[in-house]
């Protein structure tokens, strides 16, 4: 008994546009992010449920898409939020390099940075709750964050080249004791602002 969940990253936020690490901070969508959400809806079919992180950039993306699809209300869950990025939050890469020399190049993180294990544990619970709500063979569209999706992909052995773009994500099958990765998805081509195809 499994549900299919399309887990995608939110539209561009104002801090994405500025190149700032967001973590659990709550900047809004940029004007481009709002456009991306409207465009993404054009590529989507029917779903039984639309869910999201409670952070504004995810919940607003989900609400725009849910309204376009005629599905709602959006179910929000704080366990789908982005990881807490500790002392990196609010900083650009040059600012991080200035305050934490060599950390980014070495893949190091500050001591208060939330671990992959913590993100994975809470996100597993959130997706299990969504899967239970839509039931066997149900489908859900869920808007979350890059860190959450990355930990899901690691759990199922899925690989991805480069950073996850806004409105990019992956299908997952979720059920009691089941987490399987499916096809990667890109709902909006950010360079051309076009919809790649119907999902």
Residue 194 pLDDT: 61
- For residue 175, what are its two tokens? 């059920």
| CA neighbor of 182 nearest in space, from 172, 190, 192, 174 | 172
Q: Three-state DSSP class for 123? A: helix
| CA neighbor of 11 nearest in space, from 183, 155, 168, 128 | 168
Helices of type H across the chain = 14-18, 31-42, 56-69, 93-99, 103-106, 116-134, 146-155
Q: Is the pLDDT of residue 199 over 70?
A: no
- Residue 10 is among the residues annotated as catalytic for this protein: yes
Catalytic residue among 10, 114, 150, 153: 10
Q: What is the pLDDT of residues 159-186, one digit of tens each?
A: 887 889 999 999 999 999 888 999 999 9
- Residue 150 is among the residues annotated as catalytic for this protein: no
Residue 191 pLDDT: 65
- In Å, what is the CA distance from 156 to each residue of 6, 97, 124, 198? 15, 32, 12, 25
Residue 195 pLDDT: 63
CB 196 within 8 A of CB 184: no
The count of other CB atoms within 10 Å of the CB of residue 147 is: 22
- For residue 114, what are its two tokens? 């939330």
Residue 41 pLDDT: 95
Q: Is the pLDDT of residue 196 over 80?
A: no
In residues, how long is the chain?
199
CA atoms within 13 A on the CB side of 185: 24
User: What letter would DSSP give residue 27?
Assistant: P
Of the two residues 146 and 155, the one the predictor is more confident about is 146
First CA to last CA distance, the chain: 22
Q: What is the pLDDT of residues 14-34, one digit of tens each?
A: 999 999 999 999 999 999 999
Catalytic residue among 54, 82, 145, 150: 82
Question: pTM for this structure?
Answer: 0.94
């Amino acid at each position: 008994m499994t549900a299919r969940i399309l887990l995608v990253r939110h539209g561009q936020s104002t801090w994405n546009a500025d190149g700032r690490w967001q973590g659990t901070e709550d900047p809004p969508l940029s004007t481009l992010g709002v456009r991306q959400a409207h465009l993404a809806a054009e590529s989507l079919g029917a779903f039984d449920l639309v869910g999201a992180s409670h952070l504004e950039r995810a919940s607003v993306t989900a609400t725009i898409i849910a309204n376009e699809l005629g599905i709602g209300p959006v179910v929000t869950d704080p366990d789908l939020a982005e990881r807490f990025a500790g002392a990196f939050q609010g900083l650009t890469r040059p600012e991080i390099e200035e305050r934490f020399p060599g950390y980014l190049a070495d893949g190091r993180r500050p001591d208060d940075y939330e671990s992959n294990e913590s993100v994975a544990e809470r996100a597993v619970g959130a997706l299990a709750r969504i899967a239970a709500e839509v039931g066997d063979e149900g489908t859900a569209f869920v808007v979350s964050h890059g860190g959450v999706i990355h930990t899901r992909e690691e759990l199922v052995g899925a690989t991805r080249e480069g950073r996850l773009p806004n409105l990019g994500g992956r299908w997952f099958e979720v059920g009691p004791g089941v987490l399987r990765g499916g096809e990667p998805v890109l709902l909006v081509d950010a360079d051309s602002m076009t919809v790649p195809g119907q999902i």
